[in-house]
Amino acid sequence: MKLILTQEVSGLGSPGDIVEVKDGYGRNYLLPRGYAIGWTRGGEKQVTSIKRAQKVREIRDRDHANEVKQALETMIIIVPAKAGETGKLFGSVTASDVAQAVKTSGGISIDKRKVTLAKAIKTVGKHNATVEVHPGVTAKVTFEVSAG
C-alpha cells in the first residue's frame, strides 16, 4: 500500500514522505490515527504543501537551535494539575502536558514526542525534562507542577 505520511513516524519517515507499507499496517494503524493519507495522483500537491509547512515550523540551523535552547532553559514553566492535600497528583504529568505548558508560557510549539521525562511525575513541585530541539541539541527544562 502506497501512502503519504502526514506526521513523523519513527522507523518509517517524516511528513511528506511517500512510503510503501503492508496493507494491514496502513489500514489499521497509519490511516485511522491520521499519520498518513492514501496516495493519489493529486497527492503531489499535498506532499509539497506538507513539506512547505514543515519547513516553516522547522528550526533553521544549529545556531537557531541554540537560541531556542537558551530560551527554553531560562523560561518559567508552570504545569497545572489536580492534586490532593498531601501534594500527590490525581494521575500524572505527561510529556504532552509539558509541551502544552511550554506553548502557553510563551515558548515555541514543541512536539510532545521530543520531550523526555526521566520518571513519572506524580507530585507537586519542581521537576526536570529534556527537549530535543534539533538533532544534537537538547535543552534541559525545569518546570513546576502546581495544584490547580
Architecture per CATH, domain 2-57, reads as 3-Layer(aba) Sandwich (3.40)
What's residue 65's pLDDT? 80
- Burial of 90 (C-beta count, 10 Å sphere; 0-12/13-18/19+): exposed
pLDDT at 57 over 70: no
Architecture per CATH, domain 62-147, reads as Roll (3.10)
The beta-carbon contacts of 62-69 under 8 Å, at least 24 apart in sequence, are: 62/134, 62/136, 62/137, 64/134, 65/133, 65/134, 65/137, 66/137, 68/108, 68/133, 68/134, 68/139, 69/133, 69/137, 69/138, 69/139
Q: Tens of pLDDT along 11-48?
A: 898 888 889 999 999 999 999 999 998 888 777 777 77
pLDDT at 1 over 70: yes
Q: Tens of pLDDT along 85-135?
A: 888 999 999 999 999 998 888 877 888 888 999 888 999 999 999 998 877
